[in-house]
Amino acid sequence: MANLDRRTFLTRAAHAVGGLAAAQLLGGVSVAAGRRRPNIVIIFADDLGYGDLGCFGHPTIRTPNLDRMAAGGAKLTQFYSAAPVCTPSRAALLTGRLPIRTGMCSSKRGVLFPDSAGGIQDSEILIPEALRGQGYATACIGKWHLGHLPQYLPTRHGFDSYFGIPYSNDMKPCPLMEGETVIEEPADQTTLTSRYTERALQFIREHRKRPFFLYFPHTFPHVPLHVSARFEGTSTRGLYGDVVEELDWSVGQVIDALHTEGLARETLVFFTSDNGPWLTQKLSGGSAGLLRGGKGSTWEGGMREPCLAYWPGTIPAGSVRQDLSSTLNLFPTCLTLARAPIPTDRTLDGYDLLPALTGKGPCARDTMFFYQGAQLWAVRKGPWKAHLTSQDAGAKAQQNDPPLLFNLDIDPSERFDVAADHPDVVADLLKAVEAHRMTLEAVPSQLEARIEA
């Protein structure tokens, strides 16, 4: 009896302490002790531009469901991916670390290919690994692109299940995988968005009674564009518009399912893109809106992404946040929500987004680094962005000494270099670069090794 009492006490004490820590950690989000940890859904588009959604100003692409997310949640207007191409961007989202720290970038090969021998390392902690330790069910549905060999697949890095293609849809043989098994090759790309969506809804329904983490990286609008028959020819923007409108439908299905299952108020839904629009694809590529450059570029159009966060009752409806923020922030944000300990044995590049999302305070991030492969090309601090190296489409990369300087609050299109007027700002940004470089350790690139023929 005495033992039982003691055990009961310890259990209660643990709950009380857990609740207290959670209340402190969650920056104003009231997650009471005993209440279930929130579900987290991250929907990640591929090569979607800053200007491609109705709620971000596209004049003809219709995105009523994403617009609904914006109206019922928060729109983040200064949100960055951590790299201008797929592989490093995804690695950064899932680890909360710049790709230069994880070996998931290279100046020789921008991304992983079907002949690549590398991938995400076991030493990295991914969001699903941390959340699984807190009792979360985890699923990855869609494009992986962090290594297609068995040891790199989602199922080896914290995901209970995986359904999707292991790399980009323009790479052959483009297999569709269930877990670690190829179930279709090549994948019928016209049905990918609808099949992914079906799987996502199934996962949500099956886990309605348990906290879950759904990482939902879509294959599109990466080129080659494919769309289901239902959406073909329906957008005035042509095939690219059809594809984005089908993605919008998919987002609507997820939001509707959360409401139908009674989970909307206990689920954070996040929507963004891995990098900017693939401009060289012309009509098949998207739009960066008023931003300069696109995919593959460290100009704003390559890395500033449309971003929406939806959590009725927690994120104020219709809020617009101008905080400097990034996919790098998702790692600490998700771990904080799941009450998982933040790793202290490694350098993390993210900050908890909850204060900003809930309107309780600014995001702590004030600096953003822009890498081209393994080279640091630009830095942003506050409104100021300096380009140490820059490159325009079709031109050679150029070293800038002094760096080009833009005030993004005033000049988001990066049109007017004001370095000559602000030598003190340039010096301050160069100091930030030096301080950042001091935190880097050499790690071998995972993107250069190839499978022996």
Which of the residues are catalytic? 86, 145
Q: At what angle do helices 192-206 and 239-260 cross, to 10 degrees?
A: 10
Q: Mask of contacts with Mg ion, 43-62, x by CB under 5 A?
A: ---xx---------------
Minimum CB separation of residue 79 from Mg ion in Å reads: 16
Closer CB to Mg ion, 274 or 349, in the complex: 274
Minimum CB separation of residue 222 from Mg ion in Å reads: 6
Q: How many amino acids of this chain bind Mg ion (CB under 5 A)?
A: 5
* Residues numbered 370-429 forming contacts with Mg ion, rule: CB under 5 A: none
Distance (Å, whole) CA 387 – CA 398: 10
Tokens of 161: 């299940």
Contact 279, 40 (CB under 8 A): no
Tell me the residue nearest to Mg ion as measured from the CB: 86
Distance (Å, whole) CA 235 – CA 58: 12
Which amino acid, residue 92? A
Closer CB to Mg ion, 48 or 254, in the complex: 48
Q: At what angle do helices 64-72 and 239-260 cross, to 10 degrees?
A: 50
Residue 160 interacts with Mg ion (CB under 5 A)?
A: no
Q: Mask of contacts with Mg ion, 259-278, x by CB under 5 A?
A: ---------------xx---
Nearest by Cα to 127 from 223, 41, 6 = 41
Closer CB to Mg ion, 47 or 160, in the complex: 47
Minimum CB separation of residue 25 from Mg ion in Å reads: 32
* Residues numbered 203-262 forming contacts with Mg ion, rule: CB under 5 A: none
Helix (H) or strand (E) holding 133: none
Please give the angle made by the CA atoms of 125, 130 and 136, to the nearest 5 degrees: 145
User: Which residue is listed with tokens 């928060």?
Assistant: 74
Q: At what angle do helices 330-337 and 86-95 cross, to 10 degrees?
A: 30
Contact 446, 104 (CB under 8 A): yes
Q: Mask of contacts with Mg ion, 72-91, x by CB under 5 A?
A: --------------x-----
Minimum CB separation of residue 286 from Mg ion in Å reads: 11
Closer CB to Mg ion, 109 or 321, in the complex: 109
Minimum CB separation of residue 114 from Mg ion in Å reads: 16
Q: Mask of contacts with Mg ion, 170-209, x by CB under 5 A?
A: ----------------------------------------
Q: In what order do the strands lie in the sheet with 384-390?
A: 367-372, 375-381, 384-390, 398-407
Closer CB to Mg ion, 219 or 446, in the complex: 219
* Contacting positions for Mg ion (CB under 5 A): 46-47, 86, 274-275
